[in-house]
Structure 1
Amino acid sequence: MKNLRKYIIVAFTTGAVLASSCKKLDEYNPGATTLDVAYNNKPGFEGLINACYNDMFFFYGKVDFIGPSEMGTDLWINYGANDSGFCVYDNTLNTSTGSIKTIWGGWYSAINLCNTAITFSKTVKGYGSQTEIDTKVAEAYFWRAWANFNLVEQFGGVVLRTQSSAVEQSAVSAKRSSEKEFYDLIISDLKFACDNLPLSQSVRGRVTKKAAYAMLAKAYLQRTRLGDKEQYGKLALETAEELINNPAKYGCSLYLSDATTSGFTKVFDGKNNKNNPEFLFFQAIDAISGLNPEGYNRGRTRQYYEPDLGGRGADWGTQEKGVLYGRSNVKQYKPSSYLLTKIFDPRENTPDTRFANTFTYKFYASADKPITSQLATTYQKDASIVGKTILNTTAFYSGPDYFLPAGTTLEEQKNMTNDAGLAVFTPNWNIPTDVKKKMPMLVADPTDLFDPATNDYKLPASFPNEPSLINIFPAFKKFSSKMWVYTNQYWMGDFPIIRLGEVYLIAAEAALLSNNDQAKAAQYVNVIRKRAAITSRESEMIVTPAEVTIDFILAERARELAGEHTRWIDLKRTGKLTKAYFQSTNPSVALNFNEKKHVVRPIPQSFLDAIINSNEFGNNGY
């Protein structure tokens, strides 16, 4: 029997993998013993199941998965030179791109761990019944499906592995499998998970039946892009409706609106983050004891979407690093004009609360900031605001909506009345020029930000008579609630991977694909649209069946799910990864887009160097 020292198979403890638990389960350290001894007993086998969770922590809340999942779409624009390969498909997207290696390695690592667990589930001892074993190994089947789903969507038909390298020698050559073969295994694995996972788990963050049904519905819907749309659309609809029609059984529900707060607002309220009935499948983060891979180094997603709060913003009183807003020195991604003004309703008095809860568009002063005549002249402001002071809003805060007992200094804790401390204002609606000039703050509305000729951010050279606001814009904030901020970089909230809100939109799209049932599609879309408004304005959000098309649902998915790691595969599924589509929505992406290769990612050079048939295997056209 092979020795474990030959393999990188680390059985992470439950405390490290499922961060929500403050105490570790019994763990088994196989050390240098043989595989059959290590994993053929219950403690060792359950340590192996724990390890299957580890790799997902390096996708959600980390930068490496933002580019592959959200960029190069209609919703976002590259901010500077960082990650330009994913954003604009230039030649920095190649076989040596760092994030490519990270996601490829992470998914294959998870697959290998899951394959090992599935192999040893057939011989493991110490369980009272086969049902107990199936309940436990169903977690490995789920995670293998999750990894293969992401792998095939990003890289296409690559190597479909069903054997563990711990028990079978890895081949020196590689053979591609078809995308349909990938989906056959993904669907089979998720069916097993649906049948065998428990309805609930004692440790928060463990996958359950609701996660399996949600993932299966998503996989069925994505499978429609390979053909058989009616068949797989019907399966996606039936699977989604299993959750929608039986919320009590699965312990899930939508947040609904009331007279003062929309249901969508409640989804991302920090008070609801750690016990959220809408989160069907999520990454659980231990905010108290830091029992996570990399400890407290979590939730850095928010820092990559920050505007220039330390430059133009600082002129008006903001700071480059703040606990509430994050750290604005990274400068990678910003919202497109299409997202801000076409996807979201560009009206101040919109009934739809999703823009306001997806973006921070008001940034407050970190110290008193007098408005000088020089500042007013530089930013072409009216002289009437000279001499006014933007008031400091920072103050010590320890609760009730903040989890660190010691508290911290946060922006937006005083001088909020009448926005007395408002320094930078970036609405997605336009304000008359004469009104803006008299507003005692930096105002950047869409007319200030976007060039009508290019539908992109204004280049300073093209608008020499205007102050450059190219790096001022609303900041993505879904994963930034003040209740879970830890530092100016780290955010310790849970990350939803599939929400019940998405399942309703899956059902709507599937209803159209299966038999063009616009009435049913509208029914599910309207549930989501109504809960985006307070109850008194729900009627304004209702759409008719005739309005509900695949394109309408695609836009609705953007309103609901922007920034939640879905957009690239949504465009792929709906046939929108095309130059023509990007020319009409986000021209900066269209410039380099090549439909013959940019629907998949390059194969990592490290993998090609490790096989003897790399020329035969190919690199996906890169």
Structure 2
Amino acid sequence: MMKKIWTIALITVCSSACNKFLDVKPKGVIIPEKLTDFEGLLNSQKMMLSFPEALMYCTDDYYGVYNEQEKSMQANAYYWQPNIDVNDQISPAIWGSGYEIIYRANVIINNVMKATESSEQQRRQILGEGMAARAEAYFNMLTAFAKAYNPATANSDPGLPLVTSTNVTTQIPQRSSVQTTLDSVIHDLQLAVTMLPEQNINRYRCTKYAACGMLSRIYLYIGNYGEADRFADSALKARHELLNYNNFESSNDFPVNDFNPEVLWQRGCDNYMIPSGMLYSDTLRSLFREGDLRYSYLTENTQEGVVRTIANGSANFGITFPELYLTRAEVAARKGNIPAAMDFVNFLRKTRFEKDNYTPSSAATQEEALDIVLAERRRELAFSGQRWMDMKRLDRDGRMPAIKRVNRETGAVITVLEPNSRHYTFQIPARVRKFNPSISIN
């Protein structure tokens, strides 16, 4: 009987005829031998443009101009349809690109310690980078295809198939639980921290501090605030500074991301044009106050509305130092340390406002402090890929209102994402289910 092809990875590089690919390396992917070959994999566009475009359309930061009957990946994500994809003959959104990254990362992880023309230290560094890339890909997919982390149900909620093999004839594993998936992701990153350097050749390449930043993000997502704060603090030990927007005439004067002292780990989107031209939702736009240079520098008025612009030619979906300060602020607020929470917020905020319009944020209660931090996080991290993750974790905490998709011209409500809705979790793609009918669905 014909073995099942490793569909979750090969859908991105192979056709659907399983018998053509038994015991054959995926087209376009070589098994490296020299250390420079493994570095070439890390430097490939696929590995660097790792954030899935579809996760940008489903957030409440974005307003989409889609016909109610439109069938496209973008519209399906925007209206929270269970199935994002419209064509099961092509690589599925999020899943396909994610597992291709995982395949390439596994090539590195499983082979780099045998690399020629290299030292032990060099091999271990590349191994750590492969582990970080795999962890990031799994985490991005987990926010799409699994329920938000709930410690009471995480051991039974379906997560993702955990693939470590590069053998294309290996049968696809069943979905691990959310807890097991996260344990694997965290384990990879913790190992990576021990192998990665403090600095790398560019910001697309992971460092010890970037892996700490990724751990901080994941712990924030699952509500382990102590570890989120600890790893944010560790990541902030990297050399950095915040840009004072008052020192620039426009965002065109910002340093490019590879030279931007605010960027810890640069990650692009698999659609490199994103988020340029994405419309601001009314709720996001209402959060900005007069003198906020993030709004005046990073938006443009068009006939359709206010759209996002990209600072100096590229966007970042990776780890930034502002994100880490906001994580520390949120943890402080949740623990009732109001002065520390406001100090972190204002340390960032004063670099974002015109000097004459800046007033420090202050809070009288823990709840007010947390509201201030979360609003600042939404402003600062708008269109950087974090909002869907935030929506899921805040919904788990009872902090997300109903989100309406409204036709601005008619005022008609098209659809609503209710609190605790099952539509916070997308369905396993039809193409994956077709090749693997035994895979559990959401």
TM over 0.5: yes
Q: Is the 8 A contact 1:9 1:113 kept in 2?
A: no
Structure 1 counterpart of 2:375, from 524, 549, 555: 555
8 Å Cα contact 2:82/2:423 also seen in 1: no
Shift of 1:42: 3.3
8 Å contact from structure 2 (residues 88, 431) kept in 1: no
Q: State yes or no: 1:212 paired with 2:211.
A: yes
Structure 1 residue aligned with 2:222: 223
C-alpha distance after superposition, 1:365-395 (max 9, x if no partner)? xxxxxxxxxxxxxxxxxxxxxxxxxxxxxxx
TM-score when normalising by structure 1: 0.57
Larger radius of gyration: 1
Are residues 140 and 207 of structure 1, via their aligned partners in 2, closer, same or farther at CA, if it must alter by over 3 Å?
same
Q: Do the aligned residues in 1 keep the contact of 2:405 with 2:416 (CA within 8 Å)?
A: no
1:10 to 1:507, Cα distance in 2 relative to 1, 3 A: farther
Within a 5 Å distance, the mapping from 1:372-521 to structure 2 comes to 472-477=304-309, 479=310, 481=312, 484=313, 493=314, 495-513=316-334, 515-521=335-341
Residue 115 in structure 1 maps to residue 106 in structure 2:
yes
Amino acid aligned to 1:159: L
Deviation at 1:194, TM superposition (A): 2.0
Deviation of 1:95 (Å):
7.3
Partner residue in 2 for 1:133: 123
Measured against aligned partners, the alpha-carbon deviations of 1:342-363 in whole angstroms (never above 9, x if no partner) come to x122xxxx232222123113x6
Identical positions, percent = 22
Partner of 2:16: none
Counterparts of residues 65-76 of structure 1 (less than 5 Å): 65-68=52-55, 70-76=56-62
SS of structure 1 residue aligned to 2:176: coil
Cα 1:572–1:120 change in 2 (3 A) is same
Q: In 1, distance between residues paired with 2:346 and 2:255? A: 26
1:181 shift after superposition: 1.2
**Offset, 1:203:** 4.5
What corresponds to 1:281 in structure 2? 265
SS at match of 1:255: coil
Q: 1:170 to 1:269 in 2, by over 3 A?
A: farther
2:13 corresponds in structure 1 to: none
Do residues 611 (structure 1) and 430 (structure 2) align?
A: no
**Aligned counterpart, 1:370:** none
Is the CA contact 1:138–1:196 (under 8 Å) kept in the aligned structure 2?
yes
In structure 1, give the amino acid aligned to 2:322.
G
2:35 corresponding residue in structure 1 = 42
1:518 shift after superposition: 2.3
Deviation at 1:141, TM superposition (A): 0.7
Do 1:521 and 1:548's aligned partners in 2 also have CA atoms closer than 8 Å? no
* CA distance in 1 between partners of 2:363 and 2:347 (Å): 12
Do the aligned residues in 2 keep the contact of 1:73 with 1:589 (CA within 8 Å)? Answer: no
Cα separation, partners in 2 of 1:154 and 1:577, compared to 1, 3 Å: farther
Residues 545, 178 of structure 1: CA spacing in aligned structure 2 closer, same or farther, 3 A cutoff?
Answer: farther
- CA contact under 8 A between 2:220 and 2:327: conserved in structure 1? yes
Contact 2:105 2:130 in 1 (8 A): yes
Provide, for residues 325-355 of structure 1, a one-character-per-residue CA deviation record: whole Å limited to 9, x for no partner.
xxxxxxxxx32221222x122xxxx232222
Q: Does the residue aligned with 1:254 lie in a helix, a strand or coil?
A: coil
Q: Structure 1's 146 and 353: CA in aligned 2 closer, same or farther, altered over 3 A?
A: same
Which residue of structure 2 lines up, in the alignment, with residue 358 of structure 1?
Answer: 298
Q: Give the AA of the match of 1:344.
A: F
CA separation of 1:549 and 1:85: change in aligned 2, threshold 3 A: farther
Deviation at 1:88, TM superposition (A): 2.1
Change (3 A) 1:196 1:548: farther
CA separation in 1, counterparts of 2:401 and 2:415?
A: 8
Counterpart CA distance in 2 for 1:47 and 1:91 is 37
Q: Residues of 1 paired with 2:88 and 2:220: CA distance?
A: 30
Distance change (3 Å), C-alpha of 1:576 and 1:94: farther
CA–CA distance in structure 1, aligned partners of residues 90 and 360 of structure 2: 39
Q: Secondary structure at the match of 2:266?
A: strand
Q: Cα gap change, 1:85/1:212 in structure 2, threshold over 3 Å: closer, same or farther? A: same
Aligned partner letter, 1:603:
I
Instruction: Provide closer, same or farther for how the CA distance between residues 275 and 510 of structure 1 changes in structure 2, counting only shifts above 3 A.
Output: same
Relative to 1, partners in 2 of residues 1:91 and 1:233: Cα closer, same or farther, differing over 3 Å?
closer
- 1: distance between equivalents of 2:435 and 2:405? 40
**Distance (Å, rounded) in 2 between the aligned partners of 1:161 and 1:521:** 37
Alignment match of 1:597 (pick from 422, 429, 442): 422
Q: CA separation in 2, counterparts of 1:506 and 1:171?
A: 40
Q: Distance in 2 between matches of 1:600 and 1:100?
A: 19
- 2:285 — aligned with what? 340
- Alpha-carbon shift at residue 278 of structure 1 (Å): 0.5
Contact 1:78–1:88 at 8 Å: present in 2 too?
A: no
Mapped to 1, the partners of 2:205 and 2:40 lie a distance apart of 14
* Residue 24 of structure 2: aligned partner: 6
Partners of 1:88 and 1:593 within 8 A in 2: no
Shift of 1:142: 0.7
Would the alpha carbon gap of residues 44 and 340 (structure 1) be closer, same or farther in structure 2, given more than 3 Å must change? Answer: closer
Task: Tell me, yes or no, if structure 1 residue 568 matches structure 2 residue 388.
Answer: yes
What whole-Å deviation, never above 9, does each CA across 1:212-242 have from its counterpart, x for those lacking one? 2221111111121xxxxxxx21111111112
Question: Relative to structure 1, is the Cα distance of residues 257 and 593 closer, same or farther in structure 2, using a 3 angstrom cutoff?
Answer: closer
Name the amino acid aligned to 2:35: K
Secondary structure of 2:118's counterpart equals coil
C-alpha spacing 1:523/1:608, structure 2 compared with 1 (3 Å): same
CA contact (8 A) 2:41 2:104 kept: yes
Question: How large is the Cα RMSD of the aligned pairs?
Answer: 3.4
TM-score, structure 2 length as denominator?
Answer: 0.79
The one-letter code sitting in structure 1 at the alignment partner of 2:288 is F
Contact persistence 2:219–2:225 (CA under 8 A): yes
Change (3 A) 1:576 1:175: closer
Gaps of 5+ in 1: 12-29, 31-37, 60-64, 225-231, 286-292, 306-333, 364-470, 485-492
CA distance in 2, matches of 1:561, 1:203: 22
Segments of 5+ residues of structure 2 without an aligned counterpart are 1-20, 147-157, 407-411
Compared CA separation, residues 110 and 40, structure 1 to 2 (3 A): same
CA distance in 1, matches of 2:63, 2:339: 35
